[in-house]
Amino acid sequence: MAKGRGKGLDIGEGGGNKLSKPKSLGSEPSIGKKAVNNWQQTTIPSITSLPQEKNVVKLIETGVPQLMDKGTNPQGAVSIVNHADKTYCFSSSCASCKIPLAKAKILDPNDDTANIDARIQCDFCGATYNLRTGAPVKEEGGKILGFLFNGSKTSNLPVYGLGVQGGKVFINVP
């Protein structure tokens, strides 16, 4: 099963309408140095239903309203990939060209990621991101149409934390 990255969250004793923090399966997304804690319940049936295949990007519908877009993402899909016994969750589309990342290439860590974090490269424009932080990193070789998106390759790829509580799957959305 997927192993968490970084320090996991403790499962609190929730009561009433207050949601305690789910147990984290991945790293906590952050904006600057401030952690984001906006856990939303998903329509993902269980953690065991997440893709198990290694280094293959899979799109998973979450049903989370903050991720939905009537024209491009009506079911609030996110991308999931397993690499080196870690599960990563991130935007379904490239931050640069907005093309779905379903055929993106998973790359091993390099100097740009302190030889720790795996990278993902868009198969269309070539934009390359740190899988844990979403920060753009040096491309691993150009793509034919990559020059069209040079100006927009400075945007971070949105990344999300996944967690489970009471058998329900939650996602941490900024």
Residue 38 lies in a domain: yes
pLDDT at 26: 53
How many domains are contained in the chain? 1
Residue 1 domain-assigned (yes or no) = no
14 inside domain: no
**Does residue 89 lie within any of the structural domains?**
yes
Domain assignment of residue 161, given as a range:
23-172
With respect to residue 160, please indicate whether it lies within any of the assigned structural domains. yes
| 43 falls within a domain | yes
| Per-residue confidence band for 137, with pLDDT thresholds at 50, 70 and 90 | very high
Q: How far apart are CA 105 and CA 77, in angstroms?
A: 19
The residue-averaged pLDDT of 65-74 equals: 94
The pTM is what?
Answer: 0.78
Query: How far, in Å, CA of 67 to CA of 65, rounded?
Result: 5
Give the CATH number of the domain where residue 142 resides.
2.102.10.10
Please, what's the largest Cα pairwise distance for the chain? 54
Query: For residues 77 and 153, which has the higher predicted lDDT (pLDDT)?
Result: 77
Can you give the pLDDT at residue 25? 58
